[in-house]
Structure 1
Amino acid sequence: MSACGCDGNNLRPVDEAIAELLARAPAPPPVERVTLNQALGRVLAEPLYAPFEVPAWDNSAMDGYALRAADLPAAGGCLPLAGRIAAGDAAAQALPAGHAVRIFTGAPLPSGADSVVMQEQCRLEGGQVWLPPVPGGEHVRRRGEELAAGTQVLGVGQRLRPQELGLLASFGIDRVAVYRRLRVGLLSSGNELREPGETLQPGQIYNSNRYSLAGVLSSLGLEVHDYEIMADELAASRDALSLAASEWDLLITSGGVSVGEEDHLKQAIRELGELHLWRLAIQPGKPLAFGEVGGKPWLGLPGNPAAALITSLVVARPFLLRAQGCLDVLPQPLRLPAGFAWRKANGRRQYLRARLEQGDGHLRVCLHPQQGSAMLTSACWADGLALVEVGQTLEEGDLLDYLPFSALLH
């Protein structure tokens, strides 16, 4: 059990907090082999090398006619046809001198041919084909021009997207070694919370965080187990956390980490393990905690719905991806002009719900008028987050960093 020195007024910068979280990320889960149709979004656990050259042979990049460029007169001319090669055929015969062959995209180039003329530029004249002059090598994909055999094509820690799956399939690979999905226990804290479908009593609200946070975690490819709502009691918090830590790789809670008398999670964490930090220079989302329970990492997100969503995307996401074994975890913001003025400097970095709109023929970042930490309607209107740095003011047209949700929700 340890103290974290976080009861003072100092707020930790967001980037510093993320760096500390990444430094404390646990080792990746165990490795398993899965089929390609189960591998989308998974994190690669071993490097992969090209087993053969790509392309494996010289082939045509077009539907057209293959020939030796030197066989054509300078102004173009006619050549007799010596056959037809489709994709999937073997180019068994060498190209006879002074001839052309009909060829289709992907078909192997016959020995002796060095060029392809696309069919739109040619015309058939009896048993011959008229071809325009062509430079040597035109429309030919050369053997090994994309990859040499033995080249590393994918590295450990890379998340597999559709294009990586297609590349693996092109090598004939049907199973791949990936890290097992990170198993996350998700808990909500608050006596005021009720589930959708239940009747609300005075002072009660529906538990929106359960669904938005579960959605974020699922978008990252994690396995999520959602527990019942924890009561705002020390014993209940301690029991729920102990159980979750015994069953899952990592714990995430929402609510219960502020300074109120009914926020008991911090004390439960202190009794069960370690509390490392909980006040960040971020808006929304200042009450955010990190610790350990029974040797399992724990992230305590704020209870306000918009704050919980934004901190899960900005702060929790890099840590969760790193714990899954992913190396590239920090999104790259776009640098775009502001479609608004911001004249009041703030002591915390602000993540403002925003979207891109066209103005005077240019994209600009526009804000929703309501930025409260409990307001999810602005997050639904938005397609990303505009960053206003600590102490920064902006005039309309000034450049700022913009993080699209499309870069955060995957």
Structure 2
Amino acid sequence: MSHAVDPCAKPGLIHPNDALPKLLEQVTPLSRTERLPINNALDHVLAEDITSSINLPPFDNSAMDGYAFRFNELSTQSAETNFTLVGTAFAGHPFDDDIPSGGCIRIMTGAQVPASLDTVQMQELTEANDNVISITAPKRTGVNVRKQGEEASIGQVILTKGTKIGAAELGVLATLGVAEVTVYSKVKVAFFSTGDELQPVGTELKAGQIYDSNRYSIQGLLTKSQVEWIDLGIIEDNPESIKQAFIEASSQADLVLTSGGVSVGDADYVKQVLNEVGEITFWRLAMKPGKPFAMGKLGDAIFCGLPGNPVASMVTFYQLVQPIINKMKNLPHSDPLKVNAKLTHAIKRKPGRVEFQRGILTRNHNGELEVSTTGAQGSGMLTSMSVANCFIHIAIDQGEINAGETVIVEPFSGALS
């Protein structure tokens, strides 16, 4: 649904729901690939389909410890049938001898079921008296037997191109006997902060100066995004320094991020320099926090200019930059998980911008989801992000919200665990 003409939006402000598709239209997924052993492939994205060269399972095998026998040799006169034990099959050590009529074998979980047998009864439903095994009849043939190829067959595509490789996928690849895979190379992201007031941590602050926190937050977000990042530090607020930083960043990276310098102040030179060395799409978003946001091109690299306020920088990363990175990584776009929760206290606000308030999501004694804000919501109050485990989404036309009303919440990773 388009929100571009929402009457609550301030003139010149674009709804973030309209901005995101426009951002993604400018992004081309990376085509660089590399061949990696599977033990180095975690969190990469497959650049090829993985086809099975074997059947899974590769042979009929037992789903549990018990006894294997022929189903058609069960007695029709009683609930139990006596079989003669003739041997044992272990996982990796099949029983290869002939099995006479009325014979059975002891079989362990994962062991191959001999071709002449078709059913396994669990150990708990049997009784052993020397070599005589009394088996309670199962309801059907083939019980507790994993059939050859029931999970996958030779030639079947098991993992498709574009699949992100997690722990389960590593196990699947190993199960198939795949030692190496072709994956897309990691996205390279260069980033720096701008602002003469910013100082590196570990130095003494002078009047009017603050420590640069945004680069550390951005570094953490990029690390969690499984990209290769390049930290170019703090760049002073003058056009030539910013120009050289852009040239250096774009020569090394697929994506360039800046923090600060994209508002309308006299010393905000990012937009000016971008117009000289690249192309820029500049938006003022109907979004709180995070109104000033810039995107463009620097040579072959994508550029995103985040707001200088620490919370606004993180919010715009979550809502706008992360989807860009995912598309560059060849991952399909998916909306973040959102859940409904009951607000524990009133929120006072004026309509006009989509708001992402920092919240604390919990379960009450009835198991229902409840959410409260972290308190003051200033865009410079980074401690609110540290306390929060979710965003509370507030619609552009929403006014005051009363305690007990249901709100939409976007949990951070692990918030519901």
Same fold (TM over 0.5): yes
Structure-2 residue corresponding to 1:377? 383
Structure-2 residue corresponding to 1:31? 33
Q: State how far apart, in whole Å, the 2-side matches of 1:78 and 1:314 are.
A: 67
Q: Which runs of 5+ in 2 are unaligned?
A: 1-9
Q: State how far apart, in whole Å, the 2-side matches of 1:346 and 1:53 are.
A: 59
TM-score by length of 1: 0.92
Secondary structure at the aligned position of 2:234 is classed as coil
Shift of 1:343: 5.5
Q: Does residue 96 of structure 2 align to residue 96 of structure 1?
A: no
Structure-2 residue corresponding to 1:297? 302
- Paired residue total: 401
Q: 2:61 aligns with which of 39, 59, 62?
A: 59
1:50–1:151 Cα contact (<8 Å) kept: yes
Q: Residues 2-401 of structure 1 correspond to what in structure 2 (within 5 A)?
A: 9-73=11-75, 74-93=78-97, 95-135=99-139, 136-342=141-347, 344-361=349-366, 362-392=368-398, 394-401=401-408
**Superposition CA RMSD, Å:** 2.0
Alpha-carbon displacement from aligned partner over 1:218-268 (angstroms, at most 9, x marks no partner): 111111010021111122111211221122222011111112111110111
Shift of 1:126: 1.3
Q: State how far apart, in whole Å, the 2-side matches of 1:329 and 1:184 are.
A: 21
Secondary structure at the aligned position of 1:266 is classed as helix
Q: State how far apart, in whole Å, the 1-side matches of 2:280 and 2:342 are.
A: 40
Q: Does residue 408 of structure 2 align to residue 404 of structure 1?
A: no
Q: Output the amino acid matched with 2:360.
A: R
Larger CA deviation: 166-175 vs 363-372 = 363-372
Q: State how far apart, in whole Å, the 2-side matches of 1:94 and 1:375 are.
A: 77
Secondary structure at the aligned position of 1:37 is classed as helix
Alpha-carbon displacement from aligned partner over 1:78-112 (angstroms, at most 9, x marks no partner): 32212111111234345433222111111111123
Secondary structure at the aligned position of 2:153 is classed as coil
The verdict on how the C-alpha distance between 1:397 and 1:389 changes in structure 2, with shifts beyond 3 A counting, is same
Q: Output the amino acid matched with 1:311.
A: T
Q: Which runs of 5+ in 1 are unaligned?
A: 1-7
The verdict on how the C-alpha distance between 1:184 and 1:11 changes in structure 2, with shifts beyond 3 A counting, is same
Alpha-carbon displacement from aligned partner over 1:265-284 (angstroms, at most 9, x marks no partner): 01111111111122112211
Q: State how far apart, in whole Å, the 2-side matches of 1:183 and 1:336 are.
A: 37
Q: State how far apart, in whole Å, the 1-side matches of 2:98 and 2:403 are.
A: 67
2:262–2:292 Cα contact (<8 Å) kept: yes
1:61–1:140 Cα contact (<8 Å) kept: yes
Secondary structure at the aligned position of 2:168 is classed as helix
Structure-1 residue corresponding to 2:4? none
1:29–1:182 Cα contact (<8 Å) kept: no
Larger CA deviation: 299-308 vs 14-23 = 14-23
The verdict on how the C-alpha distance between 1:9 and 1:113 changes in structure 2, with shifts beyond 3 A counting, is same
1:157–1:328 Cα contact (<8 Å) kept: no
Q: State how far apart, in whole Å, the 2-side matches of 1:27 and 1:360 are.
A: 46
Q: State how far apart, in whole Å, the 2-side matches of 1:97 and 1:355 are.
A: 68
Larger CA deviation: 229-238 vs 363-372 = 363-372
TM-score by length of 2: 0.90
1:279–1:286 Cα contact (<8 Å) kept: yes
Secondary structure at the aligned position of 2:19 is classed as helix
Q: State how far apart, in whole Å, the 1-side matches of 2:404 and 2:133 are.
A: 59
Larger CA deviation: 106-115 vs 322-331 = 322-331
Q: Output the amino acid matched with 1:139.
A: N
Shift of 1:47: 1.3
Q: State how far apart, in whole Å, the 2-side matches of 1:54 and 1:202 are.
A: 68
Shift of 1:395: 4.3
Q: State how far apart, in whole Å, the 2-side matches of 1:33 and 1:86 are.
A: 37
The verdict on how the C-alpha distance between 1:365 and 1:49 changes in structure 2, with shifts beyond 3 A counting, is farther
2:337–2:411 Cα contact (<8 Å) kept: no
Structure-2 residue corresponding to 1:5? none
Q: State how far apart, in whole Å, the 2-side matches of 1:402 and 1:265 are.
A: 33
1:59–1:109 Cα contact (<8 Å) kept: yes
Q: Output the amino acid matched with 2:370.
A: R
Alpha-carbon displacement from aligned partner over 1:14-43 (angstroms, at most 9, x marks no partner): 122111121111241411001111111111
Secondary structure at the aligned position of 1:159 is classed as coil
Secondary structure at the aligned position of 1:406 is classed as coil
Secondary structure at the aligned position of 1:166 is classed as helix
Secondary structure at the aligned position of 2:413 is classed as helix
Alpha-carbon displacement from aligned partner over 1:292-312 (angstroms, at most 9, x marks no partner): 122321000111111111211
Q: State how far apart, in whole Å, the 2-side matches of 1:354 and 1:78 are.
A: 66
Q: State how far apart, in whole Å, the 1-side matches of 2:405 and 2:105 are.
A: 60
Q: State how far apart, in whole Å, the 1-side matches of 2:403 and 2:26 are.
A: 40
